[in-house]
Amino acid sequence: MNKITKSMYGLRYFDEIAQNDTVIHKLNPLVKLLASFFYILTAVSFNKYEIVALIPLAIYPSIVFNLGDIKVMPVLKRSLLVLPLIMLVGISNPILDKEAVVIFENMIVSRGILSYISLIIKSTLSVMCGMLLIATTSVDDIAKALGSLHVPKIFIMVFLLTYRYTYVLIEEFSTISTSYFLRAPGQKGIHNNMWGPLLGQLLMRTYDRAQSIYSAMCLRGYQGEYYTAKNIFRINDYVYLILCVVFLLLVRFYNVPVILGNIMTGAF
């Protein structure tokens, strides 16, 4: 199996587990979208030097993993794909901010290193939260939730069609690359002279495929509008959202690890 095919199966993995029948999957998609938004907003709102206070934020993904019956490693691997980019963005922090600060009584580090670690933790948790949203909510349900928030329909349609076209693009490129390597079994990679013709063929094949899909949509009554059923809230949805908001407020405005440490050591 080549890398293109693996990428395609990787995308489909989230579509498959989004159809599971668990407590989290049954929640209203709007509730899960709002909970994810508040979670990411809370994570990025912490001071850039905060590290210990971010630890309780790991509780939310842990609960979603357990209640949603989702395997940790597939989501974690995909979340860490952005880690090199995050590290590249914050690489200048330790260089520019060299002011020393004492932690753990006798350990001295620079503020730049603290902000660098904090950036990595915040970004990783935020990306993981987004991955969990996709893993527990189908793309159509996410689009429906965006519609409930009165996001312009044109943006929702662009989001959906881009997502679908990505599948078409990967599938066609997988077919082309497989055909190429069957005709050149001993060759490692695609020759530089062949990239132009292959990309041109890819464009034409995906365009024809997308045109066929669009024609099928029109035959089924599509007229440029995206219709969805009304969002029906149940008691579980309200309870989940309220608990998430209360938890995030506590984590944001109270340093939970420090409070627990003081209680355990009798400092209170």
Q: What is the distance between the alpha carbons of residues 180 and 191, in angstroms, rounded to a whole number?
A: 10
Structural domain contains residue 212: no
Boundaries of domain holding 47: 19-138+233-257
Q: Which long-range contacts (CB under 8 A, 24 or more apart) does 147-150 make?
A: 147/226, 147/228, 148/30, 148/231, 149/30, 149/33
**pLDDT tens digits, one per residue of 102-116:** 666 677 777 888 888
Say yes or no to pLDDT of 66 above 80.
yes
The fraction of the chain above a pLDDT of 70, given in percent, is 91
| 154 within some domain | no
Give the residue with greater pLDDT, 243 vs 227: 243
Q: Over 90: is that where the pLDDT of 241 sits?
A: yes
- Is residue 171 one of the residues assigned to a domain? no
Does a structural domain hold residue 149? Answer: no
Question: Which residue reads 């579980």 in tokens?
Answer: 236
Region 117-130 average pLDDT:
92
The whole-number pLDDT of residue 229 equals: 66
Q: What is the mean pLDDT of residues 50-62?
A: 90
Number of domains composing the chain: 1
Average pLDDT over residues 212-222: 84
Local structure of 102: helix, strand or coil: strand
Residue 55 CA to residue 68 CA, distance in Å, equals 21
Q: Compare 247 and 166 and report the one with higher pLDDT.
A: 247
- The pLDDT confidence band at residue 185, using thresholds 50, 70 and 90, is confident
Chain centroid to Cα 219, Å, comes to 34
Residue 190 lies in a domain: no
Grade residue 27 by pLDDT with cuts at 50, 70 and 90. Answer: very high
Would you say residue 37 lies in a domain?
yes
Residue 240 maps to a domain:
yes
pLDDT value at residue 37: 95
Going by pLDDT thresholds of 50, 70 and 90, the confidence category of residue 6 is: low
pLDDT at residue number 105 = 66
Instruction: Indicate whether 5 belongs to any domain.
Output: no
pLDDT beyond 80 at 231: no
Burial of 14 (0-12, 13-18, 19+ CB in 10 A): buried
